[in-house]
Structure 1
């Protein structure tokens, strides 16, 4: 039964609750998503969403094919729903590789960078790593800012109550301004300049994504 075989009791327990979904940790084959969906459906929980955890070397390496299951058509798509989100589990991944964790985090940058485009191509929400330094709010803010720069929509957090404060206050767009912003205006006729830097269509698209995530004025 693959990874799911370790969690059949959990699946049965979830099916008796009003939980919205489940997490499938460390998937390395598409069949594991199929098996989990089958178990949920068999217990009348076919509306449950599934979040995948890319936490092993194989899971990170095959991120695109794993997250595209159910999203690209074919037999799998006809049988299961796709993942709604995926998180990168760098602690387990670096242990799998035999590496060492550092405060700088350069050893897990590749894993974090690989999961984002895989999730985007599969139309799956990407969730960033957990920061294990639970008493270091500054470390969380720095990590959240780097994750945002990479393209992550949110960060995973420890279940410790104190993480609610830095999680809710991690970097986010300011309220949308009412007048047009300089970036789109500068490039309406092609390349433009804003604060001494060239602006073209790609910067407009990045600005629109950022503004789209901000609350209304």
Structure 2
């Protein structure tokens, strides 16, 4: 499955046990929401959270936002029932926590198919343990229903016993391994959360680093970060203009039988045009999503 141009600049975690948060999610300018039944929900509230999420999705009103539901692991008392319930819902994806092997994806895919999940529903995986990093390739290619990775950098840092530095050098190998695996199998990939809500400069730096590395967007823990993430992961007007310029120039050169063209002193080949078309498609999708919201 090829990665679509669907915007995923900002994807906000929201606890399924908080009915007001589920309602607020319908009006937030985030590209996506992760409705959570796992870490953000206490054990005695998990069944309620599951029921509230399914009811909210049945009610609808989330517009063009991509909705993932993070379920509990299959090895927990709630995991199987979570997957069954979400498979029957209108969610876009089931997000699995602490995935470490392809077998987990295959088990969930079998449940989804048995429960009649809609054909566009995908499986996403939280990548948050050392073993997940080492098995990223096998996880990415585990099943045709795979849709993407979400980096769980907080749990990963805990397991690595490493520091959360500004440049994230202690976990750069892990981020890179997951990026390679995701792109090798045409999956989307979202960067991990930034925990210090008061550190706006640090958040901006993390977003810039994430975009430079190739992440599609940033997962968030508070609505106040949505606008900054949307700006950071959206193509700038200058980038869009340049992309359209080289696409037009390359098309003209191709019509004249030329494989390359020089634009403003820069050699433009087909590989540059592929990147430019992807960027323009993303910009167009963002414009359409903004108009629908």
Q: How does the TM-score come out when normalised to structure 2?
A: 0.59
CA contact (8 A) 2:103 2:142 kept: no
More displaced, 203-212 or 41-50?
A: 203-212
TM-score by length of 1: 0.77
159, 172, 195: which one aligns with 1:132: 195
Q: 1:205 to 1:16 in 2, by over 3 A?
A: closer
Asked if structure 2 preserves the Cα contact closer than 8 Å seen for 1:88 and 1:111, the reply is no
CA drift of 1:121 comes to 0.9
For 1:157 and 1:132, the matched residues in 2 are separated by 9
Q: Which runs of 5+ in 2 are unaligned?
A: 1-72, 288-293
Secondary structure of 1:100 counterpart: coil
Matches of 1:192 and 1:17 in 2, distance apart?
51
Q: Note if 1:93 corresponds to 2:162.
A: no
Q: Which runs of 5+ in 1 are unaligned?
A: 71-80
Query: Which of 177, 202, 205 does residue 241 from structure 2 map onto?
Result: 177
Q: Deviations over 1:70-96 (max 9, x none)?
A: 2xxxxxxxxxx3311111222211211
Asked if 1:215 corresponds to 2:284, the answer is: yes
Q: Are 2:246 and 2:268, in contact at CA under 8 Å, matched by a contact in 1?
A: no
Q: 1:5 to 1:43 in 2, by over 3 A?
A: farther
Residue from 197, 208, 212 that aligns with 1:145: 208
Aligned to 2:135: 62
Q: Provide the residue aligned with 2:3 in structure 1.
A: none
**What is the total number of aligned residue pairs between the two structures?**
201
- What do you get for the CA RMSD once the two structures are aligned? 3.0
Shift of residue 154, structure 1, vs aligned partner:
1.4
Q: Does 1:49 align with 2:115?
A: no
Alignment of 1:1-217 (within 5 A): 3-6=73-76, 7-15=79-87, 17-45=89-117, 47=119, 48-70=121-143, 81-158=144-221, 160-175=222-237, 176-177=240-241, 180-181=245-246, 199=267, 201=269, 203=272, 205-215=274-284
Worse-superposed segment, 17-26 or 37-46: 37-46
Q: Which has the higher contact order (CA 8 A, sep 6+)?
A: 2
CA 29–207 in structure 1, closer or farther in 2 if over 3 Å, else same: same
